[in-house]
Amino acid sequence: MYIAKKWIWVLLAAAVANAQSTENVIIAVIDGARHSETFGDDGHQYIPRIWNELRPLGTIYTSFYNDGQTSTCNGHSSIVTGTWQYMANDGSERPDKPTIFEYRRKQLSSPAEDNAVVLGKDKLDILSYSTHVDYGAQYAATVKAAAVDGYDDVEAMANLFDVLANQHPALTILNLPEVDQMGHTGDWNGYVNAIHDADSMVAEIWSFVEQDAHYAGKTTLIVTNDHGRHLDGVQTGFRDHGCDCDGCRHIMALIIGPEFDAGVTETTRWTQIDLAPTIGALVGFDTPLADGSAMPFNEITATLVQSANRTRATAAGPGCTVTSASSGIRISSLDARHGLVRLFDARGVQIARHRHAVTGEQLAVRWEGIAAGVRTWCVTLDDGRVVSGKTANLR
């Protein structure tokens, strides 16, 4: 086996050029809004604040779709699992693949309160954990339900702000149910007025994020839908949903955050199942059972340097050897081509990230510019292996 004499190191700074990265993600799901009344409306009359205030701050995805079951439980479950889910729409079944909350809790030893599901519809408590044998209730998110079962955006928003202010979760999903409720009544004015109300509520979420010390500058907000509604002339029109027409499948997506360009319109086709891998890549956990792909965003930059290694300990990883030092790590005997290296603080918050090629069957990383203390590191290799550990006395 050939071992390179020179080690190539990745210099990972906690705040490269004082730039901040995403530590928290909030997903706001406007239940059942049709694309023709959101981004597909040339006048954007029902979403004035999203269009005029929030769109210039982030990236909108105009070709975003639900390619699975176009119903509430399935759409939400596909968002949090990264897989198309096919289940009853009454809340009697949970997803069969792990959720983003389970991935984060298991991989990063994240406490339950760091993960939150805020309900507009009580049946969506199924989002808190899956039935997967390797995950499940032991890795569940907390659930904040309405005091009385119903469809009330105002109460859902009050619960969201209570959770954000007092619990400070790193991952949160919110369901705003009234658009869907009003659509099902067949009341057109009630339906579009509910979209207008949800538009203001989403703007209020971002205003809270910008003003809160815990979230400001290090939070990504994702605004999307679980499904749309039938096109006019298809079945019952806007009253219902559940088929594969463009009205049911074509939905909105807006992402605002440190790694996403402002004022950009992305026309590439993406789907709901791409959100979970994107969130994992942003905040530092893997989604190995997801079928979607991470959407592009701006990586934290890093500088490549060369240095000698001062080893402290050596241990066996999954099919490789890990040499750990106070200043970094080296992983040897690798058949992989590259690895995603991530460093986390004591709370499990990602503080550095960089994808680096394996050279001479080795991947070596040096920590610099990071305060002393115990840190957790994780390397995800392109062959599916994950190597992780802890190091102390960083300098």
Contact 34, 371 (CB under 8 A): no
Hey, how many other C-beta atoms are within 10 angstroms of the C-beta on 20? 15
Q: Which of 84-88, 334-338, 387-391 has the highest mean pLDDT?
A: 84-88
Question: Residue 377's closest CA among 360, 359, 394?
Answer: 394
Q: Residue 393 pLDDT more than 60?
A: no
Question: Is 291 inside a domain boundary?
Answer: no
pLDDT of 67-117, one tens digit each?
Answer: 999 999 999 999 999 999 999 999 999 999 999 999 999 988 899 999 999
354 forms beta bridges with: 341
Q: What is the distance between the alpha carbons of residues 336 and 338, in angstroms, rounded to a whole number? A: 6
Chosen domain end from 250, 283, 316: 283
228 shares its domain with 370: no
Q: Give percent of the chain above pLDDT 70.
A: 75
59 forms beta bridges with: 255, 264
Question: Is 340 inside a domain boundary?
Answer: yes
Backbone angles phi, psi at 15, to 5 degrees: -140, 80
Domain CATH number, residue 354: 2.60.40.3080
Our CA dihedral for 223, 227, 233, 239, rounded to 10 degrees, sits at: -90
Chosen domain end from 220, 253, 283: 283
Q: Residue 33 pLDDT more than 90?
A: yes
247 shares its domain with 310: no
By DSSP bridging, strand 250-251 and strand 64-65 are antiparallel
Question: Is 288 inside a domain boundary?
Answer: no
pLDDT of 42-52, one tens digit each?
Answer: 999 999 999 99
346 shares its domain with 226: no
Helix (H, G, I), strand (E, B) or coil at 287: coil
111: CB partners within 8 A, 6+ apart: 105
Q: Which two tokens stand for residue 182?
A: 């009003």
Q: For 148-173, what is the HEC assignment?
A: CCCCCHHHHHHHHHHHHHHCCCCEEE
Q: Which two tokens stand for residue 101?
A: 């909350």
Question: Is 319 inside a domain boundary?
Answer: yes
C-alpha 216: how far from chain center: 17
Q: What is the mean pLDDT of the chain?
A: 84
Instruction: Report the pLDDT averaged over residues 335-352.
Output: 71
Question: Is 295 inside a domain boundary?
Answer: no
Instruction: Report the pLDDT averaged over residues 361-366.
Output: 72
90 shares its domain with 210: yes
Q: What is the distance between the alpha carbons of residues 70 and 216, in angstroms, rounded to a whole number? A: 34
In terms of pLDDT, which residue wins out, 115 or 150?
A: 115
Q: Residue 158 pLDDT more than 90?
A: yes
- In which element (H, E) is residue 255 found? strand 253-256
pLDDT of 240-279, one tens digit each?
Answer: 999 999 999 999 999 999 989 999 999 999 999 999 999 9
239 shares its domain with 354: no
255 shares its domain with 308: no
Expressed as residue numbers, the domain containing 353 is: 8-17+300-391
Q: Tell whether pTM > 0.85.
A: no
Domain CATH number, residue 54: 3.40.720.10
279 shares its domain with 308: no
12 shares its domain with 36: no
Chosen domain end from 283, 312, 346: 283
Q: Residue 12 pLDDT more than 70?
A: no
Q: Residue 195 pLDDT more than 50?
A: yes
Helix (H, G, I), strand (E, B) or coil at 190: helix
112 shares its domain with 256: yes
Question: Is 57 inside a domain boundary?
Answer: yes
Question: Residue 130's closest CA among 179, 88, 97, 89?
Answer: 97
64 forms beta bridges with: 251, 270
Tell me how many domains the chain contains.
Answer: 2
251 shares its domain with 330: no
- In which element (H, E) is residue 279 found? helix 275-283
Hey, how many other C-beta atoms are within 10 angstroms of the C-beta on 195? 24
